């Protein structure tokens, strides 16, 4: 067991200052590993100051989380008329409803879990999380961030966060759940047979368009990176929710840094690139990070559903037992047999009046679509 005579808090500006072995020891076999976060750091995402929160016990990293600082507009998580109103006001008053946010978690990871070294006993995890939260809150206030958040705490870890964060003034609200498909079947045919009658008929019809496409699994996409970025920006523009904006360096860097643990699937009709799908994996899970397609032509080829079955087939061929398809698009994912696991946002404001106002606004600020 780790000896914990003294625990020290640290907020690192670069993940290299922590090291691959120390970081990964706190996130056992997670697809979004040290190398993924290093690629994110090197991608130069605008608007985010990335940080890494760690608690050290006798020189050993015993608990860790990514973190970021940003100017956060409360209109970011709103849609429709409220967002348009805020955007109009911000053209005249740029700081209207813009708060300095310090947040545990990452803008481009699927989970805001806190990682513990494998030798940390469960009985000490609560104490370590409390110290991590207290240290991060102190640093945030020193740097002028009075709004402090935690992004996408997974349901299985929420009881620990509730116990430690509520006494410190944090409150929670639902975030967008994560979709998982358990690969508990042996063939695509067996999988389709588990779906509803209407879905089986529809999927068999859609799968016929596979014959018109060329599919490539790549670990290097430098030759088509401009086209992939255009597809991504087109998909982002069609979405209602905008948070981070990925750079070309993100896509190329993830593939470069992660080696065999990442690939990008490209879908062509003739010589025209119609879609790109960035994937991560570990020994058990295929994680669908970003799927972007030509909005006009992609639907004609049923590309979303074709990519889904391509990824399920990849799981079967590589002995993976879970397909994690991320957040959003829940109607289609449930129709295709996925289960949804809740995530949670935690927040507090140093000003009790503003904190109370944010709690009243929480139902409007909750991220995600109806599920």
- CATH number assigned to the domain covering 179-341: 3.40.630.30
Q: Please, which pLDDT band fits residue 337 given cuts at 50, 70 and 90?
A: very high
Model's pTM, two decimal places?
A: 0.89
Which of 55-69, 226-240, 343-357 is the most confident on average? 55-69
Q: How much is the average pLDDT of 109-137?
A: 95
Q: Rounded CA gap, 196 and 11, in Å? A: 50
Instruction: Check residue 82 and give its pLDDT.
Output: 54
CATH superfamily of 7-176+342-365: Gcn5-related N-acetyltransferase (GNAT) (3.40.630.30)
Cβ atoms within 10 Å of 41's Cβ, excluding its own: 20
Instruction: Check residue 298 and give its pLDDT.
Output: 85
Q: How much is the average pLDDT of 77-103?
A: 62
Q: Rounded CA gap, 167 and 191, in Å? A: 46
pLDDT at 84 over 90: no
Could you tell me whether strands 115-116 and 60-73 are parallel, antiparallel, or unpaired per DSSP bridges?
Answer: antiparallel
Q: Please, which pLDDT band fits residue 60 given cuts at 50, 70 and 90?
A: very high
pLDDT digits (tens, 9 = 90+) for 166-189: 999 999 989 899 999 999 999 999
**Residue that wins the pLDDT comparison between 223 and 71:** 223
The answer to whether the 7-176+342-365 and 179-341 domains have the same CATH topology is yes
Q: Please, which pLDDT band fits residue 242 given cuts at 50, 70 and 90?
A: low
pLDDT at 162 over 60: yes
Q: Please, which pLDDT band fits residue 65 given cuts at 50, 70 and 90?
A: very high
Q: How far is CA 218 from CA 6, 28, 167, 285, 297, in A?
A: 47, 26, 48, 18, 22
Q: Where are the domains of the chain?
A: 7-176+342-365, 179-341
**Which among 102, 95, 99 is positioned nearest to 141, based on CA atoms?**
102
**Residue that wins the pLDDT comparison between 317 and 58:** 317
Instruction: Check residue 327 and give its pLDDT.
Output: 85
Q: Please, which pLDDT band fits residue 281 given cuts at 50, 70 and 90?
A: very high
């Amino acid at each position: 067991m780790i000896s914990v005579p003294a625990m020290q808090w640290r907020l690192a500006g670069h993940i290299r200052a922590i090291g691959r072995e120390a970081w990964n020891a706190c996130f056992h076999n997670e697809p979004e590993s040290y190398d993924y976060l290093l690629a994110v750091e090197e991608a130069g995402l605008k608007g985010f100051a990335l940080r890494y929160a760690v608690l050290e016990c006798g020189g050993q990293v015993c608990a860790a989380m990514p973190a970021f600082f940003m100017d956060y507009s409360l209109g970011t998580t709103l849609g429709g008329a409220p967002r348009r109103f805020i955007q109009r006001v911000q053209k005249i008053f740029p700081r209207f409803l813009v708060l300095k946010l310090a947040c545990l978690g990452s803008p481009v990871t699927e989970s805001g879990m806190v990682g513990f070294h494998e030798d940390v006993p469960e009985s000490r995890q609560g104490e370590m999380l409390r110290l991590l939260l207290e240290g991060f809150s102190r640093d945030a206030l020193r740097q002028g961030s009075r709004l402090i958040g935690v992004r996408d705490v997974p349901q299985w870890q929420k009881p620990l966060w509730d116990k430690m964060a509520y006494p410190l003034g944090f409150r929670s609200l639902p975030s967008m759940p994560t979709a998982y498909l358990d690969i508990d079947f042996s063939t695509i045919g067996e999988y389709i047979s588990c779906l509803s009658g209407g879905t089986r008929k529809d999927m068999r019809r859609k799968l016929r368009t596979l014959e018109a496409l060329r599919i490539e699994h790549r670990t290097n996409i430098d030759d088509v990176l401009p086209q992939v970025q255009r597809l991504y920006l087109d998909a982002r523009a069609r979405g209602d929710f905008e948070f981070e904006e990925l750079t070309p360096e993100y896509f190329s860097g993830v593939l470069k840094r992660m080696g065999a643990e990442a690939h990008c699937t490209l879908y062509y009709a003739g010589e025209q690139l119609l879609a790109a799908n960035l994937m991560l994996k570990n020994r058990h899970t295929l994680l669908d990070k970003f799927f972007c397609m030509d909005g006009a032509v992609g639907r004609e080829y049923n590309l979303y559903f074709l990519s889904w079955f391509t990824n399920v087939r990849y799981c079967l061929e590589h002995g993976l037992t879970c397909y994690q398809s991320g957040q959003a698009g829940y109607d289609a994912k449930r129709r295709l047999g996925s289960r949804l696991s809740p995530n949670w946002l935690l927040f507090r404001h140093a000003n009790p009046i503003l904190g109370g106002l944010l709690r009243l606004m929480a139902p409007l600020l909750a991220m995600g679509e109806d599920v």
